[in-house]
């Protein structure tokens, strides 16, 4: 499958949310109402929106004549990155369940890494739930290793 990676554009929102609903079941967990995908997109568009990428089917050339039934242009992956001047972070990496193990996740991460490096970011951090063995295997395949740290968090909103 030919895949193009490009920055998110506002018209992608519904397709991205549809993908996240499949890739991240926790978005459907009503006990965690703070997980709001539309708000996540809105917030990202206010902070380093150029580091929010989507992977789409096809070569990305809108002038190319093609059969509409081939779903060219459909969103098959997402990744959000951020750089705070010290470290880079990665969030919301997701690939359409029907398009996994084709290297799309790898391309998205490599694309985000290149964008962070171009900003002078020396190291990228990310968090993976400890029971997600397949995601840990994915990141291990890209050279990521567990740091000897405990991940702490504190919710600032009431
Ligand atoms: C994690 C995810 C993004 C991987 O995307 P992908 O496009 O399937 O990954 P790739 O095809 O680039 O995989 C590259 C390598 O990672 C490893 N890998 C990927 N998925 C794996 C799995 N389910 N089990 C074991 N290893 C896996 C393999 O080594 C793979 O190479 P191979 O296919 O040649 O064996 C995708 O599974 C996903 O969207 N998961 C749900 C959302 C999620 O949990 N995101 C991470 C949040 S922290």
Whether residue 152 lies inside any domain: the answer is: no
Whether residue 27 lies inside any domain: the answer is: yes
Looking at ligand 1, which atom is closest to the CA of residue 105?
7
Q: What is the 3-state secondary structure (H, E, C) of 28-63?
A: HCCCCCCCCHHHHHHHHHHCCHHHEEEEEECCCCCC
Whether residue 148 lies inside any domain: the answer is: no
Looking at ligand 1, which atom is closest to the CA of residue 96?
39
- Flag whether pLDDT at 143 surpasses 90: yes
Whether residue 146 lies inside any domain: the answer is: no
Whether residue 116 lies inside any domain: the answer is: yes
pLDDT (tens digit per residue) in 87-113: 999 999 999 999 999 999 999 999 999
Q: What's the domain range around 133?
A: 3-141
A 10 A CB-CB count for 141 gives 11
> What's the pTM?
0.94
pLDDT (tens digit per residue) in 116-140: 999 999 999 999 999 999 999 999 9
Looking at ligand 1, which atom is closest to the CA of residue 126?
48
What is the distance in A from the centroid of ligand 1 to the CA of 83?
24
Q: Which of 138, 141, 144, 151 to mutate to test the pocket of ligand 1 (most atoms within 8 A of CB)?
A: 138
pLDDT score recorded for residue 35 = 84
Whether residue 78 lies inside any domain: the answer is: yes
Looking at ligand 1, which atom is closest to the CA of residue 101?
11
CATH number at residue 131: 3.40.630.30
What is the distance in A from the centroid of ligand 1 to the CA of 137?
7
Q: What is the number of domains present in the chain?
A: 1
Whether residue 157 lies inside any domain: the answer is: no
pLDDT (tens digit per residue) in 42-89: 999 999 999 999 999 998 876 554 544 457 899 999 999 999 999 999
Whether residue 126 lies inside any domain: the answer is: yes
In terms of Cα–Cα distance, which of 58, 95, 59 is closest to 74?
58
What is the distance in A from the centroid of ligand 1 to the CA of 140?
10
């Amino acid at each position: 499958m030919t895949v193009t990676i490009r920055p998110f554009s506002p018209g992608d929102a519904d397709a991205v949310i549809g993908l996240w609903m499949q890739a991240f079941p926790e978005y459907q967990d009503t006990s965690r109402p703070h997980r709001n995908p539309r708000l996540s997109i809105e917030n990202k568009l206010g902070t380093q929106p150029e580091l929010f990428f989507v992977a789409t089917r096809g070569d990305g050339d809108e002038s190319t004549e093609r059969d509409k039934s081939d779903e060219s242009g459909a969103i098959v992956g997402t990744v959000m990155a951020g750089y705070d001047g010290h470290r880079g972070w990665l969030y919301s990496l997701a690939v359409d369940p029907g398009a996994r193990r084709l290297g799309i996740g790898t391309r998205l991460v490599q694309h985000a890494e290149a964008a962070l490096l171009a900003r002078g970011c020396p190291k990228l951090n990310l968090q993976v739930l400890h029971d997600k063995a397949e995601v840990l295997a994915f990141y291990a395949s890209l050279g990521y290793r567990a740091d000897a740290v405990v991940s702490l968090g504190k919710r600032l909103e009431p």
